[in-house]
Structure 1
Amino acid sequence: MIKYIIVDDEPLAHELIEEFCSMLPHMELKKNCYNAMEAMQFLNSSKVDLMFLDLNMPKLKGFDFLKTLSKPPKVIVTTAYKEFALEGYELNVSDYLVKPFSFERFVKAVNKATEDFSTLTHTTDPTEVLTESFRFFVKGDKKYHQVNADDLLYIEAFGNYTKLFLSGEMLISHEKISFYENLLPSTKFLRVHKSFIVPLEKIKLIEGNRIFINEFEIPIGQTYKSVVSRLYNP
């Protein structure tokens, strides 16, 4: 699990970040801090992997607080003030999100901040990691559907939306296909067309410019042919 804290004096900011993180796998909230002093006290006794940090807070500003930490966690800045971005990168923050930010932009920031983390370092039983399913939430029809990635047959772009085809059902997501390309593990899923992503283990056969998964035929895009060919001709 990736353990994180939120440091922001605005309750609505906490709600949004928590909502976004709840839709991602392996994210565990450890503490809601509403000022830098509260966060400092928590970090003195506890360790986390990631911190979402606001800049404009009472008593001690975000970057001033960050400078006090000798071994800070990975930091994603969440602020309404884009003019401080340069200073943030000088302090080695992982990413700088300007409010309001989209879910897709948020996911890119989290992926960037956590790309060096190994799930094995956060679990005591390595076999648990190997058998754990990759799960995420899909927002659609004013509901959040939990999806097990092992159940995905393929993903298809649908304008500014996306269709997720699972065993026995289809969900329409409000996210673009690029969001799922970033979210899903690249070792298990492959984009084979500008409009299609497939799970590698579900491929039954490849013939010409088509991939067969169960009774479905998935086209292979011209620009993706070389990528697909590496599956059978590495």
Structure 2
Amino acid sequence: MNIDERLKTLIVDDDPLVCDLLQHFCSKNQHIKSHTTVINGNQALNAVHSDDFDVIFLDFNLPDFKADLLLEKLPHNLPVIMITSEISFGAKSYDYDQIIDFLAKPIRYTRFSRSIERLLSKTQSNNSYKKKTLLVKDGNATVIIKIDEIRYIKSESNYVVFYLNEKKVMSLMSLKNLEIQLPENFVRVQKSYIVNLNFLEELRTEHLIIDGTQIPIGAKHKDKVSNRIKGWND
């Protein structure tokens, strides 16, 4: 999510009254572009794997998942705002990096709005801080990736693959959330690819080449890619 864009939100709650309230709050908030609602954990997983969201409002007690189990299955860099009456989970929530806030029922709009401001503030901070490394999950291991060694990143099903100098690393996350963390020399060239312009070898109308690999340029990305490359060379 760019800080000048409005948010796409996913509401995960099986209580119709809570869903109606959150939908109303989302419609009322100037920072939110759209909201999608699902009623259980499996629907939530399907939603995040088929679309890119900026934040999830997640109920603790779902029919098929407790939140702590579902959090392990969700992309680890997708921000989550917990919605629950389980106040005891508040302390445990700090064990999960993706949880940025905790809203206790009954939810008030002023508190809801404060959570959105906190999300935007954190996103802005992440964008202004030029990180040199990424910490990503690869199975049970946490891998430290040097950003300047990333050639390109490819989305494969529910995962992304980082193509580095001498190896590949696979992790459960989305390309859209990665865009938040990467510097300006990285550009989304197609729905399944982000490339590092520092390793660009050749540019054609329909594709580009990095490390001898032909990477397609999506039709809706062509103008953005062309402008970014032109600005990168100026």
TM-score if structure 1 supplies the norm length?
A: 0.53
Q: Does 1:78 align with 2:158?
A: no
Q: CA deviation at 1:95?
A: 4.5
Helix, strand or coil: the match of 2:228? Answer: coil
Residues matched between the structures, number = 144
Q: Does 1:152 align with 2:175?
A: no
Partners in 2 of 1:211 and 1:203 — Cα distance? 7
Residue number in structure 2 paired with 1:177: 175
- Is the alpha carbon distance of 1:12 and 1:148 closer, same or farther for their aligned partners in structure 2, counting shifts above 3 Å? same
Report the AA paired with residue 103 of structure 2. Answer: T
Contact 2:126/2:180 (<8 A) preserved: no
Contact 1:133/1:150 (<8 A) preserved: no
Contact 2:126/2:181 (<8 A) preserved: no
- Larger deviation, residues 207-216 vs 160-169: 207-216
Note the alpha carbon deviations across 1:132-168, whole angstroms, 9 max, x for none.
Answer: 7521111122111111111101000101111111111
Note the alpha carbon deviations across 1:169-224, whole angstroms, 9 max, x for none.
Answer: 11111112222123323x12100000000112121221221111121111101110
Residue number in structure 1 paired with 2:139: 141
Partners in 2 of 1:137 and 1:158 — Cα distance? 19
Helix, strand or coil: the match of 2:225? Answer: helix
Contact 1:191/1:198 (<8 A) preserved: yes
The CA RMSD over aligned residues, in Å, is 2.9
Contact 1:161/1:177 (<8 A) preserved: no
Report the AA paired with residue 165 of structure 2. Answer: S
Partners in 1 of 2:115 and 2:199 — Cα distance? 38
- Is the alpha carbon distance of 1:88 and 1:141 closer, same or farther for their aligned partners in structure 2, counting shifts above 3 Å? same
Contact 1:140/1:172 (<8 A) preserved: yes
Residue number in structure 1 paired with 2:92: 12
Q: Does 1:114 align with 2:122?
A: yes
TM-score if structure 2 supplies the norm length?
A: 0.53
Identical aligned pairs, as a percentage? Answer: 21
Residue number in structure 1 paired with 2:221: 224
Helix, strand or coil: the match of 1:168? Answer: coil
